[in-house]
């Protein structure tokens, strides 16, 4: 992307912050390396077990009462879909097969880094939440799921587990490394992976049976919040966000903070034209619509928007949103599971149509062809991966309406040097690294 601001050194206080650390999740906001796992540019020491216990005290046991507490609190998942945790817990009652509890720290959106940052800074808070949920639900197995290249996350968990073992804690937790792939953090892919299958999304209606092995996947932020909830701490009023400028940063902000204040406090000194919310499979929103909205998920959903997994990508004035969208659709096509026609054939066709529009090839039917390609993909995949690409395209057509008209008339934006998005270069070619 072009004209992206470089965030200055993060301020000594948190962005949009108030209150003490006991009602917050992160030790500090951080700059991350531009791509890859959530390794900070400047090291932040993890909270030790001694510091964790001094701050919060020992964790309670995860008895049956925790189920009622989760139900009454309205605790939401923080992996992107924001499904109430109680809904997932109730679904387990449909079977009696062995249960595996998973802390999912495999962030698949290339810009995302909030979960990896939380795991590096406060691993004991996450492990407490995992142990509490496992005890409350009677899980036979507890797993921390990571991408295979997340060495920093693995070290943080191993160090924390060793600290706990030295105190005599008996919490058998296994670290499992999945493939380095966009789809490897999707919950059904995680569920298949920890049971020894391929780490690919399951079909929309997976086979079920009362005695089949069960897997419950919770995002690590959800489990950290559960650990605070179980200690009778009031719910935090903050959000963890990964924000991309020329730098990638992770910040903890009050949910009442507006987008305008967020970017101003991060040093964004010019008005963006639009913001991509939720990551590469997310939604574009024009700045005029977004600037004064708070970051609270409920407020965004009332406007038909969502922050998904907490990714914010502002697009500077003068940058071509259609070019960026075309690059992202190509990336999503390259990262498909190829388990069905919409992924194997529909997404590449959609990417070709998006590229034609971005290059302003001057055909009157460009937009209709793009819509037709999206219609052949939307809701038809074996999993939900293709739907992210169609949402992205639909939001781009609405957000960059004036640019669409210009491109259809053959007036594409002039070529210029861009800052490529993590994992995506300006030509739309994407390195794909899949390994176990």
Does the CA dihedral 273-277-281-286 come out positive or negative? negative
From 230, 252, 275, give the residue that closes a domain: 230
Query: What tokens appear for 302 in the block?
Result: 């009332």
Query: Which of 24-28, 60-64, 206-210, 399-403 shows the lowest per-residue confidence on average (mean pLDDT)?
Result: 206-210
Question: Do residues 70 and 216 both lie within one domain?
Answer: yes
User: Quick check: is 306 in a domain?
Assistant: no
CATH of the domain at 336: 1.20.1440.230
From 230, 250, 283, give the residue that closes a domain: 230
92-131 pLDDT, tens digit each:
877 788 999 999 999 989 999 999 999 999 999 999 999 9
- Which residues face 274 on adjacent strands? 286, 315
User: What is the count of structural domains for the chain?
Assistant: 2
Compute the average pLDDT of residues 349-369.
Answer: 86
Which is higher by pLDDT, 5 or 246? Answer: 246
Question: Do residues 59 and 198 both lie within one domain?
Answer: yes
Task: Quote the pLDDT of residue 433.
Answer: 28
Q: Which domain holds residue 106?
A: 36-230
Could you please report the per-residue DSSP string of 1-31? --SPPPP-SPPSSPTT--S-GGG-S-SS-EE
Compute the average pLDDT of residues 387-409.
Answer: 92
Put residue 44 in one of left, alpha, beta given phi > 0 → left and psi -120 to 50 → alpha.
Answer: beta
412-428 pLDDT, tens digit each:
777 554 557 888 864 43
Whether the predicted pLDDT of 5 surpasses 60: no
Question: Do residues 79 and 225 both lie within one domain?
Answer: yes
Whether the predicted pLDDT of 213 surpasses 80: yes
User: Quick check: is 96 in a domain?
Assistant: yes
Compute the average pLDDT of residues 45-55.
Answer: 96
Q: Chain-centre distance of CA 17, in angstroms?
A: 22
154-174 pLDDT, tens digit each:
999 999 999 999 998 888 899
Q: Chain-centre distance of CA 233, in angstroms?
A: 25
Q: Exposed, middle or buried by CB within 10 Å (0-12, 13-18, 19+), for 367?
A: middle
C-alpha distances out from residue 95 to 132, 134, 364, Å: 20, 16, 54
From 190, 207, 230, give the residue that closes a domain: 230
Pick the closest to residue 37 from 327, 389, 331, 433 (CA basis): 433
Calculate the average pLDDT of the chain: 86
Percent of the chain with pLDDT over 90: 55
7-41 pLDDT, tens digit each:
444 444 455 444 455 568 999 999 998 889 999 99
**Cα atoms in the Cβ-side hemisphere of radius 13 Å centred on 247:** 19
Q: At what angle do helices 401-408 and 385-399 cross, to 10 degrees?
A: 90
Residues written for the chain: 436
Question: Do residues 91 and 225 both lie within one domain?
Answer: yes
User: Quick check: is 286 in a domain?
Assistant: no
User: Quick check: is 414 in a domain?
Assistant: no
Question: Do residues 194 and 77 both lie within one domain?
Answer: yes
Alpha carbons 233 and 310: distance in angstroms, whole number:
23
Alpha carbons 2 and 248: distance in angstroms, whole number:
15
Say if CB 96 and CB 129 are below 8 A apart.
Answer: no
CATH of the domain at 100: 3.40.50.11540
pLDDT band at 293 (very low <50, low <70, confident <90, very high): very high
Could you please report the per-residue DSSP string of 179-190? -SSGGGGSHHHH
What 3-state DSSP class applies to 166? helix
User: Quick check: is 265 in a domain?
Assistant: no
Task: Quote the pLDDT of residue 16.
Answer: 47
Q: Exposed, middle or buried by CB within 10 Å (0-12, 13-18, 19+), for 23?
A: middle
Question: Do residues 97 and 221 both lie within one domain?
Answer: yes
Q: For Cα atoms 199, 94, 205, give the angle at the middle one, nearest 5 degrees.
A: 45
Say if CB 187 and CB 79 are below 8 A apart.
Answer: yes
Query: Which of 262-276, 348-362, 404-418, 419-433 shows the lowest per-residue confidence on average (mean pLDDT)?
Result: 419-433
User: Quick check: is 170 in a domain?
Assistant: yes
Say if CB 347 and CB 329 are below 8 A apart.
Answer: yes
User: Quick check: is 15 in a domain?
Assistant: no
Task: Quote the pLDDT of residue 3.
Answer: 42
Question: Do residues 167 and 44 both lie within one domain?
Answer: yes
Pick the closest to residue 115 from 127, 128, 106, 102 (CA basis): 106
User: Quick check: is 131 in a domain?
Assistant: yes
Question: Do residues 203 and 327 both lie within one domain?
Answer: no
């Amino acid at each position: 992307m072009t004209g992206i601001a470089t965030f200055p050194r993060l301020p000594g206080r948190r962005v949009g912050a108030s209150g003490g650390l006991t009602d917050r999740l992160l030790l500090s906001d951080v700059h991350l390396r531009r791509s890859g796992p959530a390794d900070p540019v400047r090291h932040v020491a993890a909270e030790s077990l001694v510091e964790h216990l001094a701050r919060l005290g020992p964790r309670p046991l995860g008895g049956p009462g925790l189920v009622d507490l989760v139900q009454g609190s309205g605790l939401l998942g923080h992996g992107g879909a924001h499904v109430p945790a109680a809904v997932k817990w109730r679904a387990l009652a449909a079977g009696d097969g062995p249960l595996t509890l998973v802390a999912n720290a495999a962030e698949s959106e290339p810009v995302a880094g909030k979960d990896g940052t939380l795991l590096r800074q406060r691993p004991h808070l996450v492990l407490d939440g995992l142990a509490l949920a496992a005890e409350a639900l009677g899980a036979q197995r507890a797993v921390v799921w990571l991408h295979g290249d997340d060495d920093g996350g693995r070290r943080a968990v191993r160090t924390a587990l060793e600290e706990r073992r030295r105190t005599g804690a008996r919490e058998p937790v296994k670290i499992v490394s999945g493939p380095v792939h966009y789809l490897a953090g999707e919950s059904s892919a995680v569920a298949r992976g920890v049971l020894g299958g391929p780490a690919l999304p399951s079909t929309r209606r997976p086979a079920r049976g009362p005695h089949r092995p069960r897997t419950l996947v919770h995002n690590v932020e959800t489990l950290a919040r559960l650990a605070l909830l179980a200690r009778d701490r009031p719910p935090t009023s903050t959000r963890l966000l990964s924000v991309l400028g020329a730098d990638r940063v992770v910040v903890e902000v009050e949910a009442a903070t507006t987008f305008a204040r967020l970017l101003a406090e991060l040093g964004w000194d010019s008005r963006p034209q639009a913001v991509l919310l939720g990551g590469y499979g997310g939604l574009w929103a024009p700045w005029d619509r977004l600037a004064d909205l708070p970051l609270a998920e409920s407020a965004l959903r009332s406007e038909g928007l969502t922050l998904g997994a907490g990714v914010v990508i502002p697009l500077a004035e003068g940058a071509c949103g259609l070019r960026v969208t075309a690059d992202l659709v190509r990336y999503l096509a390259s990262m498909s599971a190829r388990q069905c026609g919409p992924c194997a054939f529909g997404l590449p066709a959609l990417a070709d149509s998006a590229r034609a529009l971005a290059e302003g090839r001057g055909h009157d039917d460009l937009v209709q062809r793009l819509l037709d390609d999206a219609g052949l993909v939307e809701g038809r995949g074996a999993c939900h991966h293709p739907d992210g690409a169609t949402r992205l395209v639909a939001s781009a057509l609405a957000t960059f309406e004036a640019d669409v008209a210009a491109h259809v008339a053959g007036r594409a934006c002039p070529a210029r040097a861009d800052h490529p998005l993590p994992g995506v270069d300006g030509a739309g070619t994407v390195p794909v690294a899949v390994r176990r």
